[in-house]
Structure 1
Amino acid sequence: MDEMNRGRTSPPPKKRPNLFVRFLTFLVTLALVLGAVVLVANYDKLNFDSIKRWFTYRNLSRNESGQSESFSFEGKDASCFAVLDGDLLVCSATNIRLYSGNAQLYVNQTVSMKDPTVRVAGNSALVYDIGGKDLFVYQNRTQAFSLTLEEGQEFISADLNSQGWLVTVTQESGYKGIVTVYDSSFSPQIRFNLSSRFVMDAALAPDSKSVALLTMGLDGDTFQSRVDLYSLDRTEEEADPDWTCSVGSDVILSLRWNSSGIWALGETTLSIVAPDGTLAGSCDYSGLYLKNFSLEGDGTAVLLLGKYRAGTSAELRVVSADGSTRASLPTEEQVLSLSAAGRYVSLLTADRLDIYNQDLEIYNTLEGTQGAQKVLQQSDGSTMLIDSTTARIYVP
């Protein structure tokens, strides 16, 4: 046995890990874990949007206040505006134009519309004529889809979601609403011909698996507004909704569906409906008049409420998805425009632009707005300032 082992060499003794290296590894791991915990716990307080703005606007010439050189656009007094991927979309009864931030014109389309309205979701913009026959979708600075209704039909409403799916609500003889859902390639997927209740609006689920309809009809002796949900994995002959949720007798002005639920904003009450059909929350305006609003914030709605329809005295209120007031702020100045996007709320007055976070704490203030009459907030914190003939980007 000794002879057999004589030619073998014993393995070298194992080196014990250096205590300093082990301690250093422990410290690095601990720092990474603590950093991750702090990042998660304070995510809402941290703001990386300034970095995003730097990359987005690094080639845009701006003055010391952060405003770019203004550019002229062609529009009418009744024009509606939207920001699409940093570009300005201007819609009037006779024309649709899309401008870059440095005034390059990408879309210049002649139209004939009665009451144009615009909706932006993701990288798509929807323009349609309320009470008319024309609808357009724009993506990548060009027209991606258009639809013209036949004689005897007209658009009541339309909606896009962030996946590019489209829903239209149209009216024609014999029905109280026709709802058609299109996929992201604008191929029709399903159509509902409804005759029991009037369909006033529609909103697509963020995952494109269902559609919420705002309907009105008689419940007893009174008209009631209701949110009805239809899953899209059904046949067109199945006319009954999956569930319904009453939102009272209020006149609903706007319907939105985001990750926080289905928001139905009325003249006197804001209702938030959960995806399972239960009423997740509501906010009563307590007799105040709704002067302005935005449903484009992350999980919040922004309301401008006043004791009187006219006058400057008002309250700016941020409402959470459970209907509770997250923050409120009194104002005694004439508000020219209100806009919200992402984590920001912007309030434009005659001589100042205030940008708040969702707790209504000042994020940035611009003194001297050069006669701007409208502000469009963007989710990265930048804004588009617009007057009657010119527009410019403001980067905090």
Structure 2
Amino acid sequence: MSTNPNPESKVIKFKKSGIVSVITFLLLLIAISTTAFIVYLKNSGYDFSTMSVKDAVAFLKDKSNSKKAASTEITFSQDGNVDCKLYAGFTVILSQDSIRWYDGKGKLLQENALTMARPVLRMSDKYMVVADISGRDMFFYKGKKQLWSKKLDNQIINLDVSDDGYCTVVTQSKDFKSAVQVIDINGLEKYTKLCAEDIVVSAKSIHGGDDVFINKLTTDTVKTGTKLEFNNIYDEKPFASVNITDTIIPLALIQGDNIVAVGQNVILYLDKQGKEVWRKNAESIFCVVPKVDKYIVVAGKFATEGGTAGQKIIVLDKKGNVLYSFEQPENIIGMDIRGGRLLLRTQRSVYLYSIKGEKLGQYSARNELKDAYLVGDNEVTVVSGGSIETVKIDDSTT
């Protein structure tokens, strides 16, 4: 009988082979899991240009927290110009050939046919006006009921509607640079002003329809400036005006009887008499919350105490005092407010913050976001691609 001088050798060899097999299996499992993870990230809309494990995990956590939505999706064609807004409890979709009203569950309530090249919606809390920019047609609604329609003599440049039912329209003019018309709730023309020297950007009926605020571009100097006019409907000349040199003021908001004018690098607060109450300068202003009932919320680049400029969200009161200030999560292109909650919109994400700057959640969309509205404490209606849906963002910091 032969004897094996090393009876353990076969066992040892077997153990080494087993370890190699286990390592190979684990490496294969990691490769498969990594591939599956990358595919899942791609399908979820993750941006691989800034790929990192930490960011990817945070992205999926945000998706998990934010997509728990009890929503009904409304889809629409993206062919041509489409405008979507929330109005009087309805979701309104305006296209080049129709206007449609949906309820909160996504049910189509009403559809009216129309023909427009560049359709836009403008609304107040009570009324809505539909117009064809660069065209001449306009339609005035209260809820789903059309109160009047009109074909103007000249092409429409811009328009606005007040809670009192006054529609203010900026139009082209054959003999002047532009014109401003105010049309009352019955469709009757109440005021007209022809502007020969300056170009009108926007206009609003204010103070219960007694006055008209007109925002003009001035071109009589080397650099373009702004003139803000306060006009009484019974007088030919304005009773007050404010000139701002070297700055364009694209946005004017109403706060009670006062005006908040937001420019490229300045915020102006004007009282009922058209006098400047305060102003706040910035290096640049990106956007502002369109509702200014209690707070004025602005996203922009503001100088710090050390003198350096940083991108911030600032919350101001009516006196211009900074109540809260916090860093922006990304480049903000849109905002909304509801109670003590702030919605911050970027190209593909929606952030939910408290008014004091506490992050409460985030939603990341697959497609580019066109608009977003706060409809509850943690419910957001988003317009993305060819759909509108309401998503629920978990009330927790991500």
2: distance between equivalents of 1:351 and 1:345? 17
After TM superposition, the score normalised by the length of structure 1 is 0.70
Residue number among 87, 94, 107 corresponding to 2:111 in the alignment: 107
The structural deviation recorded for 1:261 is 1.7
Q: Counting helix residues as a fraction of each chain, which structure ranks higher? A: 2
Give the alignment's TM-score, normalised by structure 2: 0.69
Aligned to 2:15: none
Quick check: 2:290–2:336 contact (8 Å CA) kept in 1? Answer: no
State the match for 2:160 in structure 1. Answer: 159
Q: Which residue of 2 aligns with 1:354?
A: 351
Report the equivalent of 2:306. none
User: 2:99 maps to what in 1?
Assistant: 96
Structure 2, unpaired ranges of 5+: 1-65, 303-309, 394-398
Instruction: Report the equivalent of 1:130.
Output: 133
Matched, 1:296 2:299: no
Contact 1:90 1:97 in 2 (8 A): yes
Q: Residue by residue, what CA displacement relative to the aligned partner does 1:183-222 show, whole Å, maximum 9, x if unpaired?
A: 2222222222232433221012152221111123356665
User: Rg larger in 1 or in 2?
Assistant: 2
Verify the 8 A CA contact 1:83 1:378 in the aligned structure 2: no
Letter paired with 1:74: S
Show the counterpart of 1:13: none
CA deviation string 1:281-315 (max 9, x = no partner)? 22222x23x333332232433333259xxxxx942
Of structures 1 and 2, the one with the larger relative CO (CA 8 A, separation 6+) is 2
Q: Percent identity?
A: 17
Q: CA deviation at 1:360?
A: 3.3
Equivalent runs, 1:262-341 vs 2, <5 Å: 262-285=259-282, 287-288=283-284, 290-305=285-300, 314-333=311-330, 335=332, 337-340=334-337
Q: Shift of the alpha carbon at 1:352?
A: 5.9
Task: Give the Cα separation in 2 of the matches to 1:78 and 1:324.
Answer: 40
Structure-1 residue corresponding to 2:361: 365
* Counterpart for residue 49 of structure 2: none
Equivalent residues in 2 for 1:1-396, closer than 5 Å: 65=68, 67-76=70-79, 78-105=81-108, 106-114=110-118, 116-150=119-153, 153-218=154-219, 223-232=224-233, 234=234, 238-259=235-256, 261-285=258-282, 287-288=283-284, 290-305=285-300, 314-333=311-330, 335=332, 337-340=334-337, 344-348=341-345, 353-362=350-359, 364-365=360-361, 373-378=369-374, 381=377, 382-394=379-391
Change (3 A) 1:261 1:218: same
Paired residue type of 2:326: L
| Paired amino acid for 2:161 | L
Uncovered stretches (5+) of structure 1, i.e. residues with no partner = 1-62, 308-312
Instruction: Return the offset for 1:275.
Output: 1.1
Contact 1:228 1:245 in 2 (8 A): yes
SS in 1 for 2:237: coil
The 1:64–1:216 alpha-carbon spacing in structure 2 relative to 1, beyond 3 Å, is closer
**Aligned letter for 1:146?**
S
- Would you say how many aligned residue pairs link Structure 1 and Structure 2? 319
Tell me by how many angstroms 1:350 deviates.
7.7
RMSD across aligned positions (CA): 3.2
